[in-house]
Chain A
Amino acid sequence: MGLLSVLIFLPLVFGILILAMPKSLNAWFKYISLAVSLVQLAIASYMYYHFKTGDAFAGVNQLSQYQWLENLNWIRLDVGQFGVLQIDYLLGVDGFSIGLIWLSALVMLVATLSSWEIKTNLKGYFALFLLLNTAIVGVFCALDLFLFYIFYELMLLPLYFLIGMWGGVRREYASIKFFLYTLFGSVFMLLVIAGLYLSVIDPVTGNHTFNMVYAMNPANYIDGSIFNSLSNAEIFGFPARTVGFIVVFIAFAIKVPVFPFHTWLPDAHVEAPTPISLILAGILLKVGGYGIIRIAYGIFPEAAMSLSFWMGLLGVISIIYGAMAALAQRDLKRLVAYSSVSHMGFVLLGIASLTSEGLNGAMMQMISHGFLSVMLFFIVGVIYTRVHDRDIYNFRGLANKMPVFTGFVMIAFFASLGLPGFSAFIAEAFTLIGAFSSQTLNGLLPRWMAMFGTLGILLGAGYLLWTLQRMFFGKFRVKKEEWKLALTDVNAREIMVLVPLAAMALVLGIMPSIAFNVMSSSVNQFLLMFK
């Protein structure tokens, strides 16, 4: 039982425990969740602290270089002439996942603290919440495609109920849309996974395998199999590996979300209860980016390279499109949701550039956006829990009434719009630099993409500052008289949530090496696959 297994299954165990406890202990559930999250964060921090960096621990396509590796034979089914069905319980961490694991631990803690506002059916809520926790951490640790897929799908189930039961007015619509949309992508991915299984063999045992690390090595492909790059197999007249890449990419692009697969996001975010919005924005979207890097790009590098232009184009469109849509919003939460589309566009642009700066920037952007979007959604939640309204035009001059809160809002807004000193600045600057130098270094992305990408930074300042002006500055005025009493400044618990997030954004902005150190050797190793 390794550390990773503990990290993954700890919430599950306590989730079951909560289910077993009587309803009279309602008040305890949130403290149990909190304790679990704290332990998780402690374990994740321990791992991050002891994470070995350097080229010898790069991971990516070298199974032996992964850390905290756990490999158990899970399913071995002898299927006669087809050999042995091999599914492994294979967990491991490298530079791409360690940061995201830590991020998920922190976001889960924050989301738990934010769950104080949930008042109904606590037992179900926290049980599902902990199940979700297990699935999320599992996705980032799994190195076996089958295991990965199980965790990946397992995320959907609790989310469906969490949005559908504890959500806002149109929660059924939003949850079904979210569920079906995501499922739509992943089901086709399952086909590709099956195809990979038939193509890849484990060099040690000689069996077919779901091991995604082996799938990254062309030598492990059977001659003439569908995904072998030499066999030139075709699906519907297109090269099989290109089709495989596109299918996997779309599955994760829906998660990211990338234009034009993003429309589930505003609905799901708006209707989800605050803690679930935090998880959606803070972690779920990163699963998409992580998947694109690890699976889509990692397994189909040459297909990815040939489509880099389109990837970059989608990234740029997402950046500008999301920002433009955000500019048109009246609903604060929807605005933040669209800003996520814009910010996650940078991730895709950075990945598509396939340069060291671009990829590091993209990873940084994921982590940074993890902190900042969580902060933004929490800020929306603070207002919403007080007056149950989010319309920007119904508020003015909140700074008079809620000075501390406004301070946090300003930190969050300015950090999101890329003020130097905060992580988003580093992330976006590096992403754009990577995208720009791509043409000189590898000729994948034209320079104008980076130049258009900078417009996203400009528009970001537009919608955030406009919101700041409309909602927080000016004379205090709200729509209803009773709101004046309800709108109190942030309480201790809320400060406890906001402070670590702001601090993390600031720390990463001033000392980005904290994050870059652990990921840079993995990124370099990753880039070697594209040479």
Chain B
Amino acid sequence: MDSVFTNYQILCFALTAITAPFLAFVFSLIFKKLAGAFGIVSITVSLVFSAILFFSIWQKQTFHFSFSWIKLGNVSVNIGILLNDLSVIMLLLVSFVALLVHIYSVEYIRKEALRYRYFAYLSLFCFAMLCVVIADNLFILYAFWELVGFASYLLIGFWFTKKKAVQANKKAFIMNRVGDVGFLIGLMILLSQFHTLDIETIFGAKGIIHSSFIHNGNWVSPFASIPDYWLTIAGFCFLLGACAKSAQFPLHSWLPDAMQGPTAVSSLIHAATMVAAGVFLLLRVSPLFNDVVLTTMASIGLLTAFMAATIALTQNDIKKVLAFSTISQLGFMVLAVGVKDNAAAIFHLSTHAFFKCLLFLAAGMVIHQLHHVKDDTKTKFDEQDMRNMGGLARFMPITTVVFIIAALSLSGLPFTSGYLSKDAILISVFEWASERGGVYWLFPVVISITSWLTTFYIFRVIFKTFFGDFKLPALINKKEKELHLHDPNLWMKIPTIILAVFCFGFFFALNPFSLEGSWLHHAFNLEPHAGGLLHLFVPIYINALSLVLIASAYFIYAKNKIVFTNHKSWYYQFSYHQWYFNVLYDKKLVGLILWKAKITFWFDKHIIDGIVHLSAKAILVLAEIVDWVDTHIVDAFVNGLANIVSSWSVWFKSVQNGKLQHYFIWMLFIFLSFIIYKVII
């Protein structure tokens, strides 16, 4: 404990860092006019305290504080704060990016009437995300994990009158829910196995996961013993959770749709922070994964990275390209976790946060300015469609420059941060494959191709957007001068410039070619890489071909000299339609579930309720029968008796008809009868 701060102070700092955005959320909803100020101030506070925490925790100590939250007899659920290297780096990253996005948003969202909601939601997101990062307990992590999803739901649906936006946020939330289900099942398995969900207790250096083992087909922990397949299932469950949050195959299709939200939100949530939470979770629980899970994870990462890169090649919506790029890069990270190089995953997560955030913000600047043009000239065109752009570099130089810097970093060219982190992953994959050999060599091959595809698609965006002919005037029949196209103001420029600085490699390593020299990578890299040859070989062959690809992209998209794609070809269509996942999910799967729901309801109405009605009817029929018996047999007897009596009485009555002579005849008749009777007897 060589920290300058006491534990108590650290606790206070951490609590302040997370509560500031929460207070901003509450106050933004109350004092609507000051929402933006609340947001910026609170996230600045978070950033300051995160920085303090970072410098007192990083590489020095692990801080853990928890208290009992729920006590059920002998079961106790604790909540608390866990600050270790991973937490503080994420804390710093999230609050830093969030601050920049807040500043950027002030201008971006200025014209919205409901902008207070925007800032409130953004603060809520920051609060939840910071809590995810510092949660010490998987249960709490899960709670805030969902809250993050909720904030994302609110922000995607910020323009709630847009039909596509509300469909997108629903889709995002439900697909994340699929992952949450996996996460929850994983939690249940861990809890029943370890009787706690405390991250440090289970996964820490001395955690109980290390004292659990597989014996005779059973997974034995100090508390319980269950069949060993549950270990694999638990791993898959957490993987499922991470796949949903980090938009990995097969749960990736929500992220492109989520681009319906404001661009600043896409930048913060759907590029830099929230989607990285999945990778973060994998890192947190990584000791749990056995070989099967790890291999699956690597395969998913690889497949996702490749798939998303191929899709990004053909998209025309600038944000869609970036969204698929994000999916692809997250695939790199998942792959890195899958090949057990956590350091590379964290490193790439951090560098990616900066350059992808920057890409989105820069794209947002383009969209924002074009939107102004659209409003000013009262014309209609899609401001996100790259086919309407081209040649913007002349009007928006700063935007162009920062975009290119970020793109270089994404491509992993030398001197950028991406160079370091991507190479870290590539080298690990090569090493991993060489250890295993055989079919595993597919991994480095495919990931190298993906890396080249990345370079190609991002430079396609650059050349289509910023270079080539300025297509807009012709499109809307205006003169160039009427459009007033220029860089946005400082509110938007400054955050992007700051981010651009962080895209350079020397921020992470003094020697921009030395991966091992990077402080960030070094901190997590427990087993330094052995092969020196790979370090030399991988960057060179990747970058050499990348440069060729950049040049070819220039000629294809900026100069239109080469036309090499046939838009009708099946591979173009396959890529353009995003591998038809949306058709499969939105139409087929959702249709199937709704159909099943209808069947269930039909079953309920006609079978279950039918049985009730049938039994009611059966009782009614029985009642009818009883009624018939009652009227026609039981009552008939009684009534018959009464009828006989009454008909007799009617007849007797007729005797007394008041006629004297009749009486007389009767008297005679009776008298005679009596006589006759007497005579006969």
Contact = CB atoms under 8 A, between A and B. Distances in A.
A–B contact with Cβ pairs below 8 Å: the answer is: yes
B177 A516 contact: no
A521 B73 contact: yes
A457 B597 contact: no
A489 B170 CA distance: 24
A461 B174 contact: yes
A500 B163 CA distance: 33
B139 interface: yes
Interface string B151-179: 00000010011110011001001100110
Contacts of A414: 150
Contacts of B598: 328
Contacts of A418: 146
Contacts of A400: 161
Contacts of A469: 166-167, 170
A180 B173 CA distance: 42
Contacts of A521: 73
Contact of A468 (B143, B161, B162, B170): B170
A468 B608 CA distance: 29
A426 B77 CA distance: 11
B608 A263 contact: yes
A450 B184 CA distance: 10
Contacts of A421: 143, 147
A405 to B, nearest CB: 14
Interface string B212-227: 0000000000001010
B290 interface: no
A192 B170 CA distance: 49
Contacts of B142: 420, 429
Contact of B75 (A357, A468, A512): A357
B624 interface: no
Nearest to B148: A420
A327 B161 contact: no
Interface string B556-595: 0000000000000000000000000000000000000110
A457 B146 contact: no
Q: Is the interface of B mostly helix, strand, loop or mixed?
A: helix
Contacts of A321: 600, 604
Given A433-B187, A462-B593, A475-B161, A420 B226 contact: no
Interface in B81-132: none
Interface stretch (B31-39, B64-72, B639-647): B64-72
Contacts of A457: 177, 180-181, 184
A419 B148 CA distance: 10
A356 B75 contact: yes
Given A325-B604, A474-B163, A437 B612 contact: no
B170 A325 contact: no
B604 A263 contact: yes
Interface string A434-461: 0011011100000100110011011001
B72 A360 contact: yes
Interface residues of B, number: 53
Contacts of B191: 433, 436-437
A325 B173 contact: no
B661 interface: no
A421 B150 CA distance: 11
Contact of B184 (A432, A466, A473, A474): A432
Contact of A327 (B167, B177, B594): B594
A458 B157 contact: no
A206 interface: no
A454 B600 contact: no
A447 B70 CA distance: 24
A76 B612 CA distance: 41
A147 B221 CA distance: 50
A399 B600 CA distance: 31
A260 B177 CA distance: 28
B188 interface: yes
A397 interface: yes
A328 B597 contact: yes
B597 A327 contact: yes
B75 A325 contact: no
A309 interface: no
B466 interface: no
A13 interface: no
B192 interface: yes
Contacts of A512: 69-70
Nearest to B161: A475
B174 A325 contact: no
Contact of A513 (B69, B180, B189): B69
A462 B72 contact: no
A324 interface: yes
Contact of B177 (A326, A432, A461, A473): A461
Contact of B70 (A177, A328, A513): A513
A468 B226 CA distance: 42
B185 interface: yes
Nearest to B224: A440
B170 A324 contact: no
A180 B144 CA distance: 46
B188 A474 contact: no
A436 B72 contact: no
B146 A432 contact: no
A420 B600 contact: no
B150 A324 contact: no
A524 interface: yes
Contacts of A177: 612, 616
Given A327-B594, A457-B177, A436 B192 contact: yes
Contacts of B608: 259-260, 262-263
Nearest to B154: A410
B74 interface: yes
A325 B593 CA distance: 11
A466 B174 CA distance: 10
A356 B163 contact: no
Contacts of A454: 181, 184-185
A401 to B, nearest CB: 12
A324 B596 contact: yes
A436 B188 contact: yes
Nearest to A527: B73
A180 B199 CA distance: 53
B601 interface: yes
B80 to A, nearest CB: 15
B609 interface: yes
Contacts of B163: 474-475
A371 interface: no
A351 interface: no
A433 B230 CA distance: 15
Given A260-B608, A419-B150, A461-B174, A429 B597 contact: no
Nearest to B74: A356
A73 B600 CA distance: 51
A473 B157 contact: yes
Given A420-B144, A451-B185, A429 B139 contact: yes
Interface core residue of A356, A433, A523 (most chain B CB under 10 Å)? A433
Nearest to A334: B601
Interface in B283-308: none
B594 A328 contact: yes
A425 interface: yes
A395 to B, nearest CB: 14
B601 A458 contact: no
A329 B601 CA distance: 8
A436 B143 contact: no
Contacts of A419: 146-147, 150
A472 B161 CA distance: 9
A117 to B, nearest CB: 29
Q: Which 9 A-B pairs have the closest CB atoms?
A: A420-B143, A327-B597, A328-B601, A436-B188, A324-B600, A437-B192, A473-B166, A328-B597, A263-B609
Interface of A: 177, 180-181, 259-260, 262-264, 321, 324-329, 356-357, 360, 397, 399-400, 414, 418-421, 425-426, 429, 432-433, 436-437, 439-441, 447, 450-451, 454-455, 457-458, 461-462, 465-466, 468-469, 472-475, 512-513, 516-517, 520-521, 523-524
5 contacts: A325-B604, A437-B191, A512-B70, A516-B70, A520-B72
